[in-house]
Chain A
Amino acid sequence: MNLEHFLKGEAPGWMDVKGLDADIVLSTRIRLARNLDGYRFPLSFTENEAHQIDVMIKEALQSIQNDEHRFSHFTVKEMPALQRQVLVEKHLISPLLAKKEKSASVHLSNDETISIMVNEEDHLRIQCLAPGLQLAETYADASKLDSKLEEHLPYAFNESFGYLTSCPTNVGTGLRASVMMHLPALTMSKQIKVVTQMLARLGMVVRGIYGEGSENLGNIYQISNQITLGKSEEEILKDLQEVALQIIKNERGAREALLKNSRIILEDRFNRSLGNLKYARIMTSEEAAACLSNVRLGVDMGIIKEVHLNVLNECMILIQQGFVQQYAGTTLQAGERDMYRAKLLREKLNLNNQMIKEKGEERYDV
């Protein structure tokens, strides 16, 4: 696959609207950090070491290649800046990798659910993405690939410290599991602070992806484990799963309460947001994210029926500045970006409505 395939504005495979609690949990991510024995970590390695590692990993991936595992390889320094940014916005590479020069590269599966970053902070970072809440399944996918690679690569492993990583915050399992959640009702009812404090005590981190004022932008939160050593993979995943289910329960409760107490206010808010997305001429990323969050909640609550969640997922990715510039075909000033963003959203929301009406039946009759 060529790079263009991965730069498309369509929502990637892991953003499909399926999977458990997919209305609240947008996606699950599993990341495994691995390093090769006998080579210095990227922090201190030489250009030559970096190159050797890149080649070794490429060869290992070639030898395990089959229908399930087929990857396209891209070298970071050969990619133009805007394209790197688009891959970051699609969560296919990290911002750190995008900045790397020394033989840093990425192997991507065609459906964009697997990304293997080479020479980021560690020699190898296996990342698997899936829609909805699927911690066990996604870990199984990542672990399977990891076990296959292990037969071809000399992993740095130590009986007492586990998988050795550059940063001691990743050592042991090398596992970072995260769920991206849309929590508008908990945010509106100001309960999110309590949730955040509770999670900190449990060794989990909450990050708003982006936020405006004290509210997080688009009401989207990423919750992940902080502990990687002293707990097994299963324990880490189980704890995160339990926390996620608890938050889902609270969010659902908060949504019911909102709907019961202020239905007309919500209806007004959701429809206004939809109107803005469909007709505005200037859209900052903050406003766009807030409107998309409102419309999404409206769809979840059955108040807005004409928009499909797929379209909203796609828009959430497209409103980021790299994508807006790719859409415009040139680099833009902030003010120009806001105009192009509005244009893009108008096109998406008006066009996709018609498409859904046309092929609605086949879509829902699954």
Chain B
Amino acid sequence: MNCEHCKERLATVTVTQVVNGQKSEKHYCEVCAQSFHPFNLDFHKEEQIPIHQLVSNLFGLPVWNSGAQEKAPSTPKKSDQCPTCGFTFRKFLNEGKLGCPQCYETFGKQLPLVLSKIQAGTTHSGKAPGKPNHHNEWIKKQIDSTREQLQLAIHEERFEDAAELRDEIRELERKLERGGVDAP
């Protein structure tokens, strides 16, 4: 079989991917596989369901692709444009990416529809600049659960594991003592 990416060299590498619960296997040559990297989302861009399609499927909107774009009946109104980067919501749907931080305000009304489909929610609930976060609590919880694992390891006479777990707890306690990991 030839590489699915360059369609030239022999495919020797299989990449398994799960997108929206669908498992798929892609076969690449060594050269193309090299450019695949766990955090390089770009590589699978063509294979992934593009965000614009996802939204279209969801709302029954037509799918635009770069070729058909000129034929799209309505031209975006000027008010739809991001003042900083000039992106329109349609351009975002085509690219799958936003142009600048300001876009999040410009498209603040439409974005939650997309986000609710790909995220657990549409509102941030984590760390924020200038605010202390609950990291120490998390480390404390971590120590508790590691202690449980330690008890289990001792009970099951897995002493090597127990020794590692003990070291792990010490390391976590040191982290906690050094404290204010997140203090500014």
Contacts and interface: CB of A to CB of B under 8 A. Distances in A.
Interface in B107-123: 108, 111, 114-115, 118-123
A208 interface: yes
Nearest to A192: B16
A155 B125 CA distance: 17
Contacts, number: 227
Interface string A219-233: 000101001111111
B75 interface: no
A210 B130 CA distance: 41
A150 B133 CA distance: 14
Interface residues of B, number: 72
A173 B25 contact: no
A312 B2 CA distance: 31
A270 B162 CA distance: 27
B98 A41 contact: yes
A19 B146 CA distance: 13
Contacts of B73: none
A40 B84 contact: yes
A169 B118 contact: yes
Contacts of A85: 34
A140 B175 contact: yes
A95 B36 contact: yes
A269 B126 CA distance: 48
Interface stretch (A160-168, A257-265, A350-358): A160-168
Contacts of B68: none
A104 interface: no
Given A144-B182, A207-B38, A157 B84 contact: no
Contacts of A157: 128-129
A96 B100 CA distance: 19
Contact of A178 (B35, B38, B95, B175): B38
A239 to B, nearest CB: 10
Interface of A: 19-22, 31, 35, 37-41, 43-44, 85, 88, 94-96, 99, 121, 136-137, 139-140, 143-144, 147-148, 150-151, 155-164, 166-169, 171-173, 175-176, 178, 193, 196-197, 199-201, 203, 205-214, 216-217, 222, 224, 227-234, 237-238, 284-286, 320-322, 334
30 contacts: A22-B164, A37-B101, A39-B100, A39-B101, A88-B37, A95-B37, A137-B172, A140-B175, A143-B133, A150-B184, A157-B129, A158-B104, A161-B104, A161-B123, A163-B124, A166-B97, A168-B115, A168-B118, A171-B104, A205-B18, A206-B16, A211-B15, A212-B14, A216-B14, A229-B119, A232-B134, A234-B135, A234-B137, A234-B138, A284-B12
Which 6 A-B residue pairings sit nearest by Cβ, starting from the closest?
A230-B121, A162-B124, A156-B101, A230-B120, A211-B14, A229-B119
